[in-house]
Amino acid sequence: MANKIPNRQVICDTLLDLAKGDRDIMVLASDSRGSAAMAPFADTYPEQFVEVGIAEQNIVGISAGLAHSGKKPFVTSPACFLSMRSIEQIKVDVAYSATNVKLIGISGGVSYGALGMSHHSVQDLAVMRAIPGLAVVLPADRHETKKMTEALVKHEGGAYIRIGRNPVEDVYDSDDYEFIIGKAVTMREGSDISIIAAGETVRVALDAEAELKEAGVSCRVINMHTIKPLDKEAIVKAARETGRIITVEEHSIHGGLGAAVAEVVVQEHPVPVKIVGIPDEPAIAGKTSEVFNHYGISADNIKKIALEMLGR
């Protein structure tokens, strides 16, 4: 893999850069400044950094209080704990009270592959997208992470962001593209079938597209970096123009990206949809790539599903 920079480091670098001109940007950690790669921020801007210890409910409540006072808090905490232990604080103190808190779930999905279900966060999208007023964003690579972080500083309101632990391969050549929260990016145009992915599965979708192209299939790839607010227009357009959709996510097949897409498709323009993700079971132990392969979150499997849907 060419890229060695994890997305968490990109968030830290971007915030370090922006905090120079914006004293209201704050970063909070729950004994997680190392795993969040936020130690440089803590060292550079100690007055804009808050350590809360291992207390995920507290980190969200404190952030809501800071945001109410005009601060722009970025909570950095493992996605598995942040999305579950603090969910009531997120629902009430962030979403309901409408505070400008950015919740960065680090080491998300199956990043902590070998540590077991306690450390996996593959229900977080389902939970977060059911909460009114909360944006839910998954950047696909380091370029998108930078653009997303810049957008989040300007964005007013609560948001949940999920990133993985390890560096991911680039899906963009540079950060020279338009990133808008709530607006999907069409990575490849195509007319036979659409693959809709988010976060680290965008790379998998692009690899599948390359294989399908060789097999003579014109495949559209949509990077649905924002799960909420969902870009319904892009989904309906894909359904209408390509007639079949495969969704790919590092999340339970229940309630995540696939469910969000299916909700739109069945109501607006019904076409066949296949949902690829983690089945309803404690995920198997292993590296992200091993877990992905095990559950068919792979270019080969997506190609197979696509060819089946196309009757080839």
- The single residue of 51, 56, 178, 189 carrying the catalytic annotation is 56
Number of residues counted as binding another protein (CB under 8 A): 28
Residue 55 within binding range of another protein, rule CB under 8 A: yes
* Closer to another protein by Cβ: residue 13 or 93: 93
Q: State the SS3 of the chain.
A: CCCCCCHHHHHHHHHHHHHCCCCCEEEEECCCCCCCCCHHHHHHCHHHEEECCCCHHHHHHHHHHHHHCCCEEEEEEEHHHHCCCCHHHHHHHHHHCCCCCEEEEECCECCCHHHCHHHCECCHHHHHCCCCCCEEECCCCHHHHHHHHHHHHHCCCCEEEECCCCCCCCCCCCCCCCCECCECEEEECCCCEEEEECCCHHHHHHHHHHHHHHCCCCEEEEECCEEECCCHHHHHHHHHHHCCEEEEEEEECCCCHHHHHHHHHHHHCCCCEEEEEECCCCCCCCCHHHHHHHCCCCHHHHHHHHHHHCCC
56 is catalytic: yes
Question: Among 93-101, 110-118, 182-190, 201-209, which window interacts with another protein (CB under 8 A)?
Answer: 93-101
Q: Report which residue type is found at 290.
A: E
Among 18, 92, 236, 262, which residue interacts with another protein (rule: CB under 8 A)? 92
211 vs 213: CA distance, rounded Å: 5
N-to-C CA span, the chain: 33
Residue 84 within binding range of another protein, rule CB under 8 A: no
User: What are phi and psi for residue 22, nearest 5 degrees?
Assistant: -145, 95
Residue 131 within binding range of another protein, rule CB under 8 A: no
Nearest partner of 278 among 261, 262, 299, 293, judged by Cα? 293
Question: Among 94-102, 218-226, 271-279, 298-306, which window interacts with another protein (CB under 8 A)?
Answer: 94-102
Residue 68 within binding range of another protein, rule CB under 8 A: yes
Among 21, 70, 132, 311, which residue interacts with another protein (rule: CB under 8 A)? 70
Beta carbon of residue 152, minimum distance to another protein (angstroms, whole number): 19
Residue 89 within binding range of another protein, rule CB under 8 A: yes
82 vs 60: CA distance, rounded Å: 8
Among 2, 4, 47, 281, which residue interacts with another protein (rule: CB under 8 A)? 47
Within positions 221 to 260, which residues make up the interface with another protein, using CB under 8 A?
none
Residue 69 within binding range of another protein, rule CB under 8 A: yes
* Closer to another protein by Cβ: residue 82 or 137: 82
Among 63, 100, 107, 121, which residue interacts with another protein (rule: CB under 8 A)? 63
Beta carbon of residue 68, minimum distance to another protein (angstroms, whole number): 6
Question: Among 58-66, 238-246, 270-278, 288-296, which window interacts with another protein (CB under 8 A)?
Answer: 58-66
* Closer to another protein by Cβ: residue 18 or 98: 98
Question: Among 31-39, 44-52, 163-171, 186-194, which window interacts with another protein (CB under 8 A)?
Answer: 44-52
Question: Among 34-42, 53-61, 125-133, 167-175, which window interacts with another protein (CB under 8 A)?
Answer: 53-61
Residue 66 within binding range of another protein, rule CB under 8 A: yes
**Count of other CB atoms within 10 angstroms of residue 88:** 11
Task: Return the active site residues.
Answer: 56
- Summarize as ranges the residues that interact with another protein (CB under 8 A): 47, 50, 52-53, 55, 57-58, 60-71, 73, 88-89, 92-93, 96-99
